Structure 1
Amino acid sequence: MHYLKYKCMLILCFFTISVYAQQPAPLSLKVLLNTVDQKAPALLADSAAISIKLAQANEVRNNWLPNFKLNYQADVGTNNNVAGGYFGFGIVPSNSSGVRAQNNTSSALTNLGIASFDWEAYNFGAYAAQNRVANSDVAVERNNFQNSRYRLQAYAIGGYLELMRLQDFLAIQARTIQRDDQIRKSIQSLAKSGIRPGVDTSIAEAELSKARLNYIELDNRFKQVQLQLSAISGIPSQAIVPDTLMGDKLSDNIGAPALINADTANHPYINYYKSVVQNSLQREDLVRKQYNPKILLEAAGWGRGSSIENDKFGPLSNGWGFDRNNYLVGVGVSYNLFDLRRKQLKLRTQKTVTDYASKQLNEQKSLLELSINQANVELNTARQRLQEIPDQLKAATAGYRQKLSLYKSGLTDIIELNAAVNILYRAETDYAQARYAYTSALFQKAITGNQLPSVLNLLN
């Protein structure tokens, strides 16, 4: 018997250790946030968008490069021309000389080689304005990345806190199932002995079934939140188990000094809209300068050969090689007077865009200020609620124990006992909700005030 008892104890211990080993280790909030920063699909896409803007800025920085073209052609055809000019439209072939009294169908061979160089050497600041706009585009994209990152962190924190809340509710529901099961067993014993009516057993069974259904629903919601966090972190959903000690650490610091003043000036939400306004101002400057006069430096060298010599058609083979060589170097100024009107219209449009961006910035500042004030109020309320709620839980626990003793003694009925159980259940859920409300309000204040590291440091 002793050997059998010892063997059963070993089997029970092994089973307990195996079950415990299968439970995933709690995942800290810091680890979750770091993983989201590295693997969130939305952030990876925004990071790629920054690379695009950087490539475009590098492209713009090379707009100042000149054009240097090498051309060569050899052509066979007739050589007839008439006096008078025309616009080429880019489709009328050139046919120099060849002005004769009558049409000539003889063929001639010509060849032409050209090396040309043209450079917009100076445009009164347009190149620099283009570079500033390109760099501003990069800044906007980077601030958009930081904005998305901050919002995604807020989303991940909200999901993590929701897991903590549901985890507390699941624990409460498990205790409720255990209590209801104990009550059911006690009622069954009392009913069999004739002390209690059989209907009490049915009522106890109904309460136990309801508690189990509530547990199933809570477990479903818990797994749904796990899947949502898994989608943005890449962590398997089963491994996303919140650290229950986090709520205790934050609750223990309920009397700690308030966070330092909110840093709205450098808030990611504000920085993004600031960069949008700055980008629009840089585009205004570009509009002013892109219609400025342009100073052009041009040069060309070319050689020509022809089978026509002194207006006489020779063998086509005489057309190979260059008979005449020329070069041309010049400096030019180009300015379109009608660009004055175009600049005015485009600048007016861009100023409207700047005004819109400025109003968006002011709106975001107002909304952020409102959120900070609301977070302060909510945090103070949550702190007061969390300090008061233990008295409710203590009284409800004492009331339940008293009613259970009275019921077992036959001094009260099942209705009053169920009422005491419900009061205790409500007190436990109120306490869990109060803990959740406090931690949620604390993180909300940290997020709106750009002081998230201050709260995360409390978890060390």
Structure 2
Amino acid sequence: MQYFKRYCCLGLLLLIAVCAHAQQGPAPVSLKEILSRVDKNAPTLLTDSVAIAIKKAQATETRNNWLPNLKLNYQADVGTNNNTAGPYFGFGIVPSNTSGVRAQSNTSTALVNLGIAAFDWEAYNFGAYAAQNKVAGAEVTVEENQFQRSRYQLQGYVIGAYLQLIRLQDYLTIQSRNIERDQQIRRSIQSLAKSGLRPGVDTSIAEAELSKARLTYIELNNQYKQVQLQLGNISGIDYRNIIPDTLSAAKLVTQATMPALITPDTANHPAINYYRSVLQSSLQKEELVKKQYNPKILLEAAAWGRGSSISNDHFNNLSSGWGFDRNNYLVGVGISYNLFDLRRKQLKLSTQKVATDYASRKLDEQKSLLALSINQADAELSTARLRLQEIPNQLQAANRGYRQKLSLYRSGLTDIIELNAALNILYRAETDYAQAKYAYISALFQKAVTGNQVGSVLNLLN
């Protein structure tokens, strides 16, 4: 019986533990985990990765431009063989009709058939093939760097949204405390009003303040959910499970020497790499323009057979036209060059040089903007650190002032207006402290993002 009671007690304790665990909310999600999930699931990055695959496929296609042409043709024709002397341009639509010129017109019908295997190859074009391949490779690099730039921009957005969650969660906690204080004041006023020590209007004022605090909490909670939804959409995590790790924020706040550890890495910055690759691609296109108008050395060959119902200028039965009566082949090497391509190359190269100059200026502009952003981040971080060091004094003073006013009010030495004023000062001090923490962490990550050193900050959270 004692064992039975013991097992029952153990089972009951286990059940209580399971129930308590079930009532707990989801575990906090770290910023590093959010960023990892975004890398895998963000729709923008998935689209950009497909764009890279397209560019790689196009580069493979370009690498095979050197392949020759080998065409097999066969035709069987029924018609007349009635020529006259005189030259003409074919225009691509005048049919061929081979035979001698007769003294008289002859419209008799003949059957002919022709089979041709034709080979042509642009065997050498003085570097045009290599230039095409370099341009295609440069386009792949541009697309890859565009992907990294999009990833970098999305990383900054995710960090900003995650820090917003931390800030809003702090605000919700502060607002909960504010509601508790309003409820405490209301209970005190109700007791004092019942005993006749306070007028009934104080109760109405306390109820209004409590309702205002609850409405503020509802609005903050809505903002919190909106940010959760945005992060859930790009990370693939159920938004209800995206709970920020506030301990990591507190850890960053205590790291006073951490800003000195962030050394900007502008040489490998994704934005700089992208514009650098755009400039390199434009330079490669210049080389292609210079070489695509070069002479072309062509290798050509053909083998063909013909059959005809005409023999010795005599029109035989049409059935005799089947089969090949004559077979020939031809092999040759040629060179082709258009003199007017000199002018075309000059004009196109001039246009491409303008595009290269534009790409170079965009790269310089991005370097200048990046340097400005780094300096601004340094200034903001310095200001945020000073603000964070000063704000506890405001909070302590406001807390003391509220406790004193509450004690005076309960003693009948002050009124509800002054008590609410003290409460509002305390509330503002708490929110200012939360904002100061957010501003410091935000400035810290802004410097890390701008300086391409997010990883070094994330490692400090472990």
Using the size of structure 1 for normalisation, the TM-score is: 0.95
CA distance in 2, matches of 1:98, 1:43: 70
Cα drift, residue 260 of structure 1: 3.7
Aligned to 1:455: 457
Cα drift, residue 255 of structure 1: 3.2
Note closer, same or farther for the CA distance 1:410–1:19 as it changes in structure 2 (3 Å cut).
Answer: farther
Residues 293 and 345 of structure 2 are in contact (CA less than 8 Å); yes or no, is this contact kept in structure 1? yes
Aligned to 2:29: 27
Aligned to 1:164: 166
Q: 1:329 aligns with which of 311, 328, 331?
A: 331
Cα drift, residue 275 of structure 1: 0.3
Aligned to 1:288: 290
1:258 is paired with a residue whose SS is helix
Residues 33 and 153 of structure 1 are in contact (CA less than 8 Å); yes or no, is this contact kept in structure 2? yes
2:258 is paired with a residue whose SS is coil
Letter in 2 for 1:87: F
Cα drift, residue 148 of structure 1: 0.1
Residues 259 and 444 of structure 2 are in contact (CA less than 8 Å); yes or no, is this contact kept in structure 1? no
CA distance in 2, matches of 1:374, 1:353: 31
Aligned to 2:88: 86
Q: 1:388 aligns with which of 390, 401, 407?
A: 390
| Greater mean alpha carbon deviation, residues 173-182 or residues 310-319 | 310-319
Note closer, same or farther for the CA distance 1:239–1:113 as it changes in structure 2 (3 Å cut).
Answer: same
CA distance in 2, matches of 1:13, 1:200: 44
Residues 75 and 113 of structure 2 are in contact (CA less than 8 Å); yes or no, is this contact kept in structure 1? yes
CA distance in 2, matches of 1:224, 1:453: 27
1:450 is paired with a residue whose SS is coil
Aligned to 1:402: 404
Residues 262 and 448 of structure 2 are in contact (CA less than 8 Å); yes or no, is this contact kept in structure 1? no
Cα drift, residue 323 of structure 1: 1.2
Cα drift, residue 261 of structure 1: 2.2
CA distance in 1, matches of 2:397, 2:22: 35
Aligned to 2:219: 217
Cα drift, residue 14 of structure 1: 7.7
Letter in 2 for 1:17: A
CA distance in 2, matches of 1:455, 1:314: 93
| 1:40-55 superposed matches below 5 A | 40-55=42-57
Residues 84 and 101 of structure 2 are in contact (CA less than 8 Å); yes or no, is this contact kept in structure 1? yes
Letter in 1 for 2:448: A
| 1:62-141 superposed matches below 5 A | 62-141=64-143
Q: 2:437 aligns with which of 415, 435, 438?
A: 435
CA distance in 2, matches of 1:406, 1:122: 98
Q: 2:233 aligns with which of 231, 234, 245?
A: 231
CA distance in 2, matches of 1:109, 1:262: 82
Residues 72 and 112 of structure 1 are in contact (CA less than 8 Å); yes or no, is this contact kept in structure 2? yes
CA distance in 2, matches of 1:20, 1:369: 50
Letter in 2 for 1:408: R
Deviations 1:276-309 (A, max 9, x none): 0000000000000000000001111111111100
Residues 118 and 303 of structure 2 are in contact (CA less than 8 Å); yes or no, is this contact kept in structure 1? yes
CA distance in 2, matches of 1:425, 1:254: 26
Letter in 1 for 2:242: I
Aligned to 2:4: none
Q: 2:415 aligns with which of 406, 413, 416?
A: 413
Residues 286 and 349 of structure 2 are in contact (CA less than 8 Å); yes or no, is this contact kept in structure 1? yes
CA distance in 2, matches of 1:449, 1:423: 38
1:261 is paired with a residue whose SS is coil
Deviations 1:144-178 (A, max 9, x none): 00000000010000000001100000000010001
Letter in 1 for 2:247: L
CA distance in 2, matches of 1:131, 1:64: 11
1:87 is paired with a residue whose SS is coil
CA distance in 2, matches of 1:260, 1:401: 42
CA distance in 1, matches of 2:46, 2:432: 40
CA distance in 2, matches of 1:100, 1:231: 83
Q: 1:181 aligns with which of 180, 183, 188?
A: 183
Aligned to 2:60: 58
Letter in 1 for 2:457: V
| 1:227-266 superposed matches below 5 A | 227-256=229-258, 258-266=260-268
Residues 79 and 98 of structure 1 are in contact (CA less than 8 Å); yes or no, is this contact kept in structure 2? no
Cα drift, residue 259 of structure 1: 2.5
Deviations 1:86-107 (A, max 9, x none): 1111111111015212222221
CA distance in 2, matches of 1:212, 1:163: 19
Q: Is 1:17 aligned to residue 20 of structure 2?
A: yes
| Greater mean alpha carbon deviation, residues 97-106 or residues 157-166 | 97-106
Cα drift, residue 85 of structure 1: 1.6
CA distance in 2, matches of 1:256, 1:228: 30
Query: Number of paired residues?
Result: 451
Deviations 1:202-259 (A, max 9, x none): 1111110110110011011111111111221121211111111111111121233512
1:109 is paired with a residue whose SS is strand
| Greater mean alpha carbon deviation, residues 282-291 or residues 70-79 | 70-79
CA distance in 2, matches of 1:16, 1:427: 38
CA distance in 2, matches of 1:16, 1:424: 37
CA distance in 2, matches of 1:96, 1:15: 98
Residues 278 and 359 of structure 2 are in contact (CA less than 8 Å); yes or no, is this contact kept in structure 1? yes
Deviations 1:31-56 (A, max 9, x none): 10001000100000000000000000
Aligned to 1:309: 311
2:460 is paired with a residue whose SS is helix
CA distance in 1, matches of 2:445, 2:112: 81
The sequence identity of aligned pairs, in percent, is: 75
2:34 is paired with a residue whose SS is helix
CA distance in 2, matches of 1:115, 1:49: 39
Q: Is 1:194 aligned to residue 196 of structure 2?
A: yes
Aligned to 2:280: 278
Letter in 1 for 2:99: S
CA distance in 1, matches of 2:419, 2:208: 14
CA distance in 1, matches of 2:52, 2:100: 60
Gaps spanning 5+ residues in structure 2: where?
A: 1-8
1:300 is paired with a residue whose SS is strand
1:88 is paired with a residue whose SS is coil
